[in-house]
Structure 1
């Protein structure tokens, strides 16, 4: 009886630390973070063992999210771009070591040596020497009027922050260049190329890239933000969803079903190869190129949380994938982040497991904890890691003051008569022109090619900032003017009010010069 009692206690202890169920992880995440919509799927041993959705495509609409709902997958598009290029390498149309100028003769970086030496592989592994997010204001916030030609031209004016190939720093613009290299070598636009090389052979029937009519496709999730303690739609799609410059870096949309098919294609090559081989009998992607995209190409920093949560020993970037280890097993993963849209795809190849999370709201922390709980469910099931435990750890890491932004003091709109010394039209070599001009009783900052970057100039103490009209543009800039003299016009530099702002608001890369006066206003301003 004593032995039976010990066995019972052991069983209770084991049960107490058992991995939580997939449903419990889903339910707790959805409820805790009050998400507008959530889609989660799991593949084990080549089969979809879990696919569940909740919420609405548009909060309050009654239109339920299902496994065919289209989400923006954001930077998970990068793996699809890399796969497209890998297919062209298999076809002999490209080599990873091709010089970029071989395919794009007019391509230029700020450093002529880098222009000559940069290879296709460099475009994919974040080693350019540019600061994180350099030039991203040509891509986001959407919509804007920047084209891929603008992106390629603008790169010549983005000054490096570090030496070429010396360190990892995340960038998006060079993925757009990679997409254009593929288009040149593949004989089709980037959009047509991805459809031909990825969507069609793998049967990703709902995935979309480029222009499409929203209502013809249907079932499209809209992004949300939290406002007044509720989910509010931001940057809602119009009737026609346009082709965008950022497609190769983060512009693809897919459903949960599509992403699970994509997951199976990587975990179970035989299945994807059988699906796509057709008359040629060739696999969708060769073993050599599968290995290439999952080979560590550029070391990444290993943070304290990654060491603690994953017991990780390394972190690196491959071609469109992040590579690391967790509890002694390989992890291949990537996240996707756009305003009001979050995604993550994680593979544990040695365990033949993969999972997808798609969110159409303010879901940064929800994505982090849910993905980590899913990882630990398979890498260390005896630890019994759940959503509450991970969320509490993140809260402790933030500390008591993290929930509040630093106060900037009293904000007062600048009156036009007090701004005469610095109003006018300013030009930046890659971003183009902005006007800082009177409108009624305010002074308004407005970017010519990025209409969401518009707002009133406010004075805070001795400093000036812009309060953007669009609440979804959540990174305010300080404005710092230098006085003009006979030799030089007035200049303007921007910097982040919140030092933790998303790096895609790359204000430090802007260098404006005054080029002209404001047009005369029809109204008298005081």
Structure 2
């Protein structure tokens, strides 16, 4: 059966809300997230919503459809769509050189600087390694500005040739946001409110600087505490700052907002029409955003779980096929916050999942089980338990990670006397200054620009590592010293767990000693 015919046949077998509810029940029972919001759109209508849990675990404030979640990298599609609006308005072209809009923009290679176009900012083809420069964005909040991030790009060395392969990055989406600001004649956050939130009626979404208590009803991120009990981590202060990562992953929206966003993409004539009845985006730009712009790896899991034949990146969206129908999707991940938006355009179906906990597996399993209810209604066994079991088997089949060996080693805090030749101040050209200095009898690592990167230096076997104080910073770092004549002159870092989030791009740091620790 041809893909379109197969999609039409499946469309006639819509699952009922009780079937969807059973999937969500199973996911909640298995993973027990602190808070969850789920919505399903079919044929342009919201046919299912479900909210569960609390904004802060144990505080008694329930999640509802208006609760704001960090949507993380689902912000990228909004940044790309904003640029598409500006293309529709004749204010820029996808092939414009970036330096035409931002004359001070520089990459490490002068040729790449000259050749990089607006479209290149969105499709992860820059030649930088995955997550390069992300330590300027998180853990947040920090002291980096957008100008700092853009200035830092010139110091990040590529690991691949420009446009030769896919490697996910966030920093160039910051540049994309500033291109939009330059072309649109207003700050990025102002443009998003004016061009996106207002015409689409996404009234709860927040961007830029705003006050927590004035907006209210915010889900807070959670880390895994002792015994797997979720613990609130990185709780918002009264003023939510306009952080540099906004265009890559800093927008917050409610379930109802995300369902309006979903409906607009599935049925563009239903939401956001202007006074003359024109859709929010032209058909040409909608097609351009969802066009295959950069091939992505087709993983074994995608082939086995979904019978997928291709994988690619559009402008802010991942593109593939599942069980003979087209899938357009993205996920969002920040420490303690997970999101997923999945569209099956040929079936006119969309799913929104928002979670305020450490929930990578929950997001994967729940989204997969929901999709299968629509693409494989003949296979009820493809449920939450099935996919959770497959992930368990994947973990069991992996070789022992370097992290496991590190965790098996006893740890001891290093004294100032032991590190007398190492303590001092160091500087990296894009990350800035750090101090490795004594506090009492121990030695602490402190970043000047990223205050949450603070921790105690420990010895594990023959190596040094930094044990971060903040539980929300969930990737410990090896600390490797270089030097001569008994005196350290440089520091390098690496993830203790090689499979930790690539946004902890410690490996891109190259610290050189610049002086002694300040006097007590």
State the distance in 2 between where 1:403 and 1:156 align: 37
Structure-2 change in CA distance of 1:19 and 1:201 (3 Å): closer
Matched, 1:282 2:278: yes
CA shift for structure 1 position 401? 7.4
- Give the structure 1 partner of residue 258 of structure 2: 259
Deviations 1:371-420 (A, max 9, x none): 00111111111111110111011101110778995132111111101111
Q: Residue 144 of structure 1 aligns to a residue in which SS?
A: coil
CA shift for structure 1 position 283? 2.2
Structure-2 change in CA distance of 1:261 and 1:218 (3 Å): same
- Give the structure 1 partner of residue 337 of structure 2: 341
State the distance in 2 between where 1:460 and 1:290 align: 52
- Give the structure 2 partner of residue 395 of structure 1: 392
Q: What is the Cα-based RMSD across aligned positions, in Å?
A: 1.8
1:142 to 140, 151, 160: 140
Q: Residue 97 of structure 1 aligns to a residue in which SS?
A: coil
- Give the structure 1 partner of residue 515 of structure 2: 516
Q: How does 1:67-78 map to 2 (within 5 A)?
A: 67-78=65-76
Matched, 1:114 2:112: yes
State the distance in 2 between where 1:496 and 1:361 align: 22
- Give the structure 1 partner of residue 10 of structure 2: none
Q: Residue 21 of structure 1 aligns to a residue in which SS?
A: helix
- Give the structure 2 partner of residue 86 of structure 1: 84
CA shift for structure 1 position 482? 1.1
Q: How does 1:87-106 map to 2 (within 5 A)?
A: 87-106=85-104
CA shift for structure 1 position 461? 2.0
State the distance in 1 between where 2:35 and 2:469 align: 26
Structure-2 change in CA distance of 1:400 and 1:131 (3 Å): closer
- Give the structure 1 partner of residue 383 of structure 2: 386
Structure 2 stretches lacking a partner, 5+ long:
1-12
Q: How does 1:186-201 map to 2 (within 5 A)?
A: 186-201=184-199
Quick check: 2:422–2:488 contact (8 Å CA) kept in 1? no
Q: How does 1:344-363 map to 2 (within 5 A)?
A: 344-363=340-359
Deviations 1:29-75 (A, max 9, x none): 11110101111000000100001101011111111100010000000
CA shift for structure 1 position 20? 7.7
CA shift for structure 1 position 484? 3.9
CA shift for structure 1 position 282? 3.0
CA shift for structure 1 position 276? 3.1
State the distance in 2 between where 1:137 and 1:402 align: 28
Quick check: 2:481–2:488 contact (8 Å CA) kept in 1? no
Quick check: 1:134–1:171 contact (8 Å CA) kept in 2? yes
Whose radius of gyration is greater, 1 or 2?
1
2:178 to 168, 177, 180: 180
Quick check: 1:19–1:377 contact (8 Å CA) kept in 2? no
Matched, 1:297 2:293: yes
TM-score by length of 2: 0.94
State the distance in 2 between where 1:70 and 1:20 align: 26
Matched, 1:414 2:411: no
Structure-2 change in CA distance of 1:214 and 1:402 (3 Å): farther
Q: Residue 64 of structure 1 aligns to a residue in which SS?
A: coil
Quick check: 1:77–1:248 contact (8 Å CA) kept in 2? yes
Q: Residue 49 of structure 1 aligns to a residue in which SS?
A: strand
Q: Residue 269 of structure 1 aligns to a residue in which SS?
A: coil
State the distance in 2 between where 1:121 and 1:427 align: 33
Query: Which region of structure 1 is more displaced relative to structure 2, 146-155 or 459-468?
Result: 459-468
Number of aligned positions between the proteins: 502
Structure 1 stretches lacking a partner, 5+ long:
1-14, 522-526
Quick check: 1:313–1:325 contact (8 Å CA) kept in 2? yes
Q: Residue 316 of structure 1 aligns to a residue in which SS?
A: strand
Deviations 1:420-460 (A, max 9, x none): 11110000000000000111000111000111101111112
- Give the structure 2 partner of residue 168 of structure 1: 166
Q: Residue 273 of structure 2 aligns to a residue in which SS?
A: helix
2:211 to 206, 210, 213: 213
State the distance in 1 between where 2:153 and 2:209 align: 25
Q: Residue 316 of structure 2 aligns to a residue in which SS?
A: coil
